[in-house]
Structure 1
């Protein structure tokens, strides 16, 4: 009997131990599952160090990773995928590897995003446009005309020759919006200024951009601006001339020509990507679009501290007033001037 009682107590104790072990084991698994890193992938048309469009997106993603923690955000990227067909292959690979958010950084990816997103409904996709209407696709657009209006004001106030040159990539998308806002800003403060635009027909042709910049300077332009990764070539040419200045965009490009770049419009993609992460965490995989604006702090201006004294206090105050008006909606800047 004693032996039977001993065995009975032993079995009961063993069952209790197993129950406790199972309970804590399951709790640990749930904790590990809830703390899994969100996986983000970037499809970039150029490189993460292009000093323009792609670098701005990459730095935004890195900022999100640093803010949330590297253990919470896994980040991968693919560069030099300006060709939508090649980008489509990478999109499918990332989706097949169970990435949560895949961002194709540009408007040129619209058709391939539409195709791939339909095959991977659990993955959130994002791209620079609004044409794709799907529950797992986020669209985004940079209202570059808002910040460029302010740069245009600065250019109109500081030009001495009244000739200003724009080095454009292609007459479409974010680039044409930037040009539009810049021209409006120039004309607002200096109606007599002559703003001249020439396009290379490419986003990455730095040689052609440099040639156009030189043509502008030789024609009398003393202030230039331009967009996309090709602008690096134009900035290099501008830096060869004394008294010729450049207004940049996408990121702070001052390091490229510290004696020539006066100010830059910043595209702050950290705020945009944070929106994607928050929406997905709330169970929203897509179906929404986002505008990057001055008001929501996804756009901003930065000045070259070494050259900021070129502007008077009165001129800078005009910029601050105009910025506040744009933020509140009391000043309307047209995205495209016909």
Structure 2
């Protein structure tokens, strides 16, 4: 509780300062008829430095700053308990667009967004709906299906593992897609799913990775935010085991030991939302970013492609195309 109170205090000071500066700038810019757009990014727990979806969204915001001249602010809640207050304070500040990252924002969005009809909000993989809320719906299940197929075809032990941050629908999309893809490529594969219970606990993530290795998993896919860093530490200490990264290209983290990464281009969506808000083309509703739209996909496997047989790569590409063509339907837990 003390940490949350301290976080909110610092957040309030920061937002008031930013808002005050923005007001001064707006007054001066009104004389020239121009205003600088202001956008706020509120991360999921784990914050920046997760080398995952938070960092990816931040890349989109930085790109908007450089290419569009947008003023940006990043807010990093310490826990989900801070979500509601973070969003309220941001909504009361002088931002033209507020974007939240993470699939656990529905409660806060449903509470705050309807009360600020003149503000523009954006989110990723949430179920919330509002006239002023745009949602980027990444087909995590599709991308996970493809890397699951690769894991299955490359596994020598016949067992692969999954590490999720939380046992929630947004993460279960990865888990279900991964398992379905693995079993589509090899019906006899064993898939072991686990959940850390946090997106910000690398030590616990490592413990889960070691446990999966002990149970025979020789390829492990993580969708756990900063907790997923623990998998990479475990890879350094265990021969014959490979990992699969998530959200960004994480292949470089342990060169030659991260088989591939299931990339989710959150940064592209973030940039798109800001650009649309700036140009007056922002619209509410859901925009799908799937395999067909290149919203999700595999990394180029820069450090591992030479150890993957050509026939395996061909099979995986064929499976990817089957999903795009609709010949294979991957379960989306969001539809349940």
Q: Normalised by the shorter chain, which TM-score bucket?
A: 0.7 to 0.9
Q: How many angstroms does 1:64 deviate by? A: 3.3
Contact 1:169–1:199 (CA under 8 A) maintained in structure 2: yes
Give the 5 Å matches for 1:238-257: 238-257=235-254
Q: Secondary structure of 1:303's match?
A: coil
Equivalent-residue separation in structure 2 for 1:43 and 1:91 (angstroms) = 8
- Gapped runs of 5+ residues in structure 1? 1-28
Give the 5 Å matches for 1:82-93: 82-84=79-81, 86-93=82-89
Between stretches 142-151 and 328-337, larger displacement belongs to 328-337
Q: Which residue of 2 aligns with 1:24?
A: none
Q: Secondary structure of 1:233's match?
A: helix
- Gapped runs of 5+ residues in structure 2? 1-28
Give the 5 Å matches for 1:230-309: 230-281=227-278, 283=280, 286-309=283-306
Contact 1:236–1:256 (CA under 8 A) maintained in structure 2: no
Q: Which residue of 2 aligns with 1:41?
A: 40
Equivalent-residue separation in structure 2 for 1:326 and 1:175 (angstroms) = 20
Give the 5 Å matches for 1:70-219: 72-84=69-81, 86-219=82-215
Q: How many angstroms does 1:174 deviate by? A: 2.7
Q: How many angstroms does 1:277 deviate by? A: 3.1
Corresponding position: 1:51 with 2:48:
no
Cα deviation, 1:29-75, whole Å, max 9, x if unaligned, reads 889435x3321111112222111221122122223333x33xx2111
Contact 1:142–1:291 (CA under 8 A) maintained in structure 2: yes
Cα deviation, 1:54-105, whole Å, max 9, x if unaligned, reads 1122122223333x33xx2111101134324x23333233333321110121
Equivalent-residue separation in structure 2 for 1:41 and 1:126 (angstroms) = 10
Contact 1:140–1:291 (CA under 8 A) maintained in structure 2: yes
Q: How many angstroms does 1:324 deviate by? A: 2.4
Give the 5 Å matches for 1:8-27: none
Greater Rg over alpha carbons, structure? 1
Count of residue pairs the alignment pairs up: 306
Q: Which residue of 2 aligns with 1:64?
A: 64
Q: How many angstroms does 1:232 deviate by? A: 0.5
Q: Which residue of 1 aligns with 2:24?
A: none
Between stretches 254-263 and 108-117, larger displacement belongs to 108-117
Equivalent-residue separation in structure 2 for 1:327 and 1:87 (angstroms) = 35
Equivalent-residue separation in structure 2 for 1:300 and 1:283 (angstroms) = 30
Q: Secondary structure of 2:129's match?
A: coil
RMSD over equivalenced CA pairs, Å: 2.4
Between stretches 126-135 and 311-320, larger displacement belongs to 126-135
Q: Which residue of 2 aligns with 1:25?
A: none
Contact 1:137–1:288 (CA under 8 A) maintained in structure 2: yes
Between stretches 320-329 and 230-239, larger displacement belongs to 320-329
Q: Secondary structure of 1:51's match?
A: coil
Q: How many angstroms does 1:130 deviate by? A: 4.5
The normalised TM-score by structure 1 is: 0.82
